[in-house]
Amino acid sequence: MSPLEIRTGLRKLEFAAGTARDPQAEGGEQQVLVEFVRPAPIADGTTVRVPLGRRDGVLRELTGQPQLMETRPSGEGSTEYHYRLRGPVATSDAR
């Protein structure tokens, strides 16, 4: 089963700070934190994929199982589901 792709509802995109000379995490993997909201819940165990764009001709993305942070009313009787996903940035050559 392919991952559920998240392209809308992004609320936070934060790359690991690292040091000024080395923005990548130990082992050469850059870490990223993404928070997003959806109008419907994601089933437990579902893998999601968040495209992070291209850099130097390389596609970057974050894939994993998000953690539900909170649910809150979003107006007119609907609910908003707020998720967080953290992990290493995966890359693929897009040339």
Concatenated DSSP letters of the chain:
-PPEE--S-EEEEEE----SS--SPGGGPPEEEEEEEESSPPPTT--EEEEEEEETTEEEEEEE--EEEEEEEEETTEEEEEEEEEEEPEEEE--
For 30, the domain range is 4-93
- pLDDT reported for residue 15: 87
The answer to whether residue 27 scores a pLDDT higher than 70 is no
Average pLDDT of span 27-47: 90
pLDDT confidence tier of residue 94, bands split at 50, 70 and 90:
low
The count of structural domains within the chain is: 1
- pLDDT reported for residue 19: 41
